[in-house]
Structure 1
């Protein structure tokens, strides 16, 4: 998709930024991907065309409300330009602009915030992620290079940004035997490095290879699984892949349920304990008057009361099934798993917790968007995998309750994630809670 990019590049000294001949922030067009927060395309252009050696701190793509086919406005903030860098012809460093009225309306609020920080030399706000602060990229790159060499896979080129959002950032770097990724996560996800390393050690066929972790920074280095995600497989291949993925997660969860020592390690690493017993109250808060992750068009009181009642009724019925407490993936969908030599490899354990594994089913089938040909094999495989410890007919009888509880769990997750983001970036996680509220409503309508 086309990107309409505006840049805030501060000068090395004083309160100056890069400006075009009209005194406005520089602008360029490129092709990019909003799912990568535009970082890959922007980084490539800055390096290859501008010879700009400085990391990008934040990409701010504003895709909401943009008509299909129209370019997406994107605001980019970088670290300070070094004295040695020569700007492209026609661009010079000048005083901070007094207004940003020439920018697309969707970019103006964030541009004003960044320029105000430069004008006042203010410290970044507390919720700003580490990778959006000067110096992080150099520190992370140096650690990745050292960690890769220590693991016997030295980098053959510099790490480059691959993903950049408020919840996480990824660097990608080549080695002689395939690419490596450094993943950095924001504070609510800081258990991911230890958790992923432990699971990869216990289940090497179902997780990517972990080369190194730095828990205090929220960093882990993993090998590229070099496989197509299940969500991107041809339609005819997805049903079987979804069944394989469901069995793989249940295998991990059922084994971990019998390893209390491993669960204690995950708890000590910061994996939250989220039993169903606390879900009803958490859900009520997440859809209440102070909720942050509910839809842009808030539901009326009657609809929310109906959803809340359905959640309250479903929880004890799912608890009564007796599924063992274990690790919950928290974001188990077909975009977070791939088939490698016929086995499912599950990635992105950022939102993992300790709780009831029933909550992972709703996300696993949600990306199938009502396609029964995909959903039924996935559900059947999940039920059969748990039938070793739970009566499969009981699971099937309570399937709607399981979906309601899982959807409520996701609403709570989204509310917590949004609260932990810097306010200006919360829009990037908008819509998730609303989607799962509608999942609850769909079950209510289906069950009469």
Structure 2
């Protein structure tokens, strides 16, 4: 995969001080910034944080050339930066009503100060990720690590969702140390172990059964949970809205596919309803890379995409990220778990229609991203709603 070439536009207290020499980062994903800031810290001699991407014409991730607005916390080493401001600097720092709070001047530093007021820090914080949906900081503390995470105003606050999950199963998610729900900041205990990108069957079964059991309880609490909702029986309206938003990019073949999908929706929704599963919390990105295991304990992490919806969306997401044989096993375990959790239900009946409908859910979510993030950050998701419509058409 292509490396990215980083162009860092550096400011101190909002004032431009220079552009760093372009450098190559082997990690192609634009939101991953730990190596990027480590390079800049060493180059400039002061701590740095990435606020956001700056307009980067003709480029998109992964790889390629990407510009970032970087904040330096102190005076950079002399003679390192090119002091010539970019022609669009005034536009880059112009206030933007949809800008995330961590992308504002001083945003990451305020997150660190907030966390440090709750748990004493024992070393230098590391900014691990920042993009249009979240900012993640790794914080050394006296007995290990903690994590500060900020999420968008239209997303779920990790720590708040986790509190509901842990009330049902105390060890299924990391411990939330503190939550600022207004700013959607969470301070989380470290989940030891490794990400389960290639889980064994025992891990798949354990995580699925525990998560389904939690979802069954949370189904009775949805009215008190602060999480966005997505369409359940409102899919026809959702499809119409998505099609309207991407109308200019639809090809004749796309329009034929949308007509076929529209005709199938009543049948798909009838199949989904026949499963008899409740509206509940959906993780939203339920793949094994968001599970952690130390060999004894398994935890589910990264709850920012959680929403209120149909639980079959999670099994659909999982099946798409594991080998076919393991996917078939996961479907069986999931269906068995839901039959035990919701007696009289027919969970297997939800799997086939959700293979189509989950694409519309993701299309709605992607459109929500685009509607609520500042223009420069839309580069991460431009084209995603149309892509989801096409995937849904291919799945019918």
TM-score w.r.t. the length of structure 2 is 0.87
Mark the runs of 5 or more structure 2 residues left unpaired by the alignment: none
Structure 1 residues 341 and 12: CA distance shift in structure 2, 3 A? closer
Structure 1 residues 321 and 253: CA distance shift in structure 2, 3 A? same
Matched, 1:335 2:325: no
Q: 1:424-439 counterparts in 2 under 5 A?
A: 424-430=376-382, 432-433=384-385, 436-439=388-391
Q: 1:132-171 counterparts in 2 under 5 A?
A: 132-148=103-119, 154-171=120-137
Structure 1 residues 141 and 278: CA distance shift in structure 2, 3 A? same
SS at match of 2:277: coil
Matched, 1:366 2:356: no
Match of 2:154 among 188, 201, 205: 188
Matched, 1:127 2:83: no
Match of 2:265 among 286, 311, 314: 311
Structure 1 residues 141 and 298: CA distance shift in structure 2, 3 A? farther
Q: 1:12-411 counterparts in 2 under 5 A?
A: 17-18=17-18, 25-35=19-29, 37-59=31-53, 72-79=64-71, 82=74, 84-89=75-80, 91-94=81-84, 96-98=85-87, 112=88, 114-118=89-93, 122=94, 124-148=95-119, 154-231=120-197, 233=198, 237-257=199-219, 260=220, 262-266=221-225, 269=226, 271-274=227-230, 276-286=232-242, 288-291=243-246, 300-368=254-322, 371-388=323-340, 389-390=342-343, 394-411=346-363
Q: Distance in 2 between matches of 1:197 and 1:129?
A: 24
CA-CA distance at 1:243 after TM superposition: 3.2
Q: What RMSD, in angstroms, separates the aligned Cα atoms of the two structures? A: 3.1
Q: Distance in 2 between matches of 1:425 and 1:97?
A: 19
SS at match of 1:377: helix
Q: Comparing 308-317 with 157-166, which one deviates more in the overlay?
A: 308-317
CA-CA distance at 1:299 after TM superposition: 6.0
Q: Which has the larger radius of gyration?
A: 1
Say if 2:13 and 2:106, in contact at 8 Å, map to a contact too.
no
CA-CA distance at 1:320 after TM superposition: 2.6
Say if 2:12 and 2:71, in contact at 8 Å, map to a contact too.
no
CA-CA distance at 1:431 after TM superposition: 5.9
CA-CA distance at 1:60 after TM superposition: 5.6
Q: Output one character per residue of 1:346-381: Cα deviation in whole Å (capped at 9) or x when no partner.
A: 11221222232222221121223xx32121011111
CA-CA distance at 1:278 after TM superposition: 1.8
SS at match of 1:193: helix
Structure 1 residues 62 and 311: CA distance shift in structure 2, 3 A? farther
Q: Distance in 2 between matches of 1:193 and 1:219?
A: 8
Structure 1 residues 437 and 249: CA distance shift in structure 2, 3 A? farther
What count of residue pairs does the alignment treat as equivalent? Answer: 394
Match of 1:413 in 2: 365
Q: Distance in 1 between matches of 2:182 and 2:375?
A: 24
Match of 1:8 in 2: 9
Q: Output one character per residue of 1:293-352: Cα deviation in whole Å (capped at 9) or x when no partner.
A: x98989621012222333332112211321122222222222222334455411122122
Mark the runs of 5 or more structure 1 residues left unpaired by the alignment: 19-24, 99-111, 149-153
Q: Distance in 2 between matches of 1:230 and 1:356?
A: 24
Q: Comparing 180-189 with 128-137, which one deviates more in the overlay?
A: 128-137
Say if 1:62 and 1:74, in contact at 8 Å, map to a contact too.
yes
Q: Distance in 1 between matches of 2:302 and 2:360?
A: 21
CA-CA distance at 1:65 after TM superposition: 7.1
Structure 1 residues 17 and 309: CA distance shift in structure 2, 3 A? farther
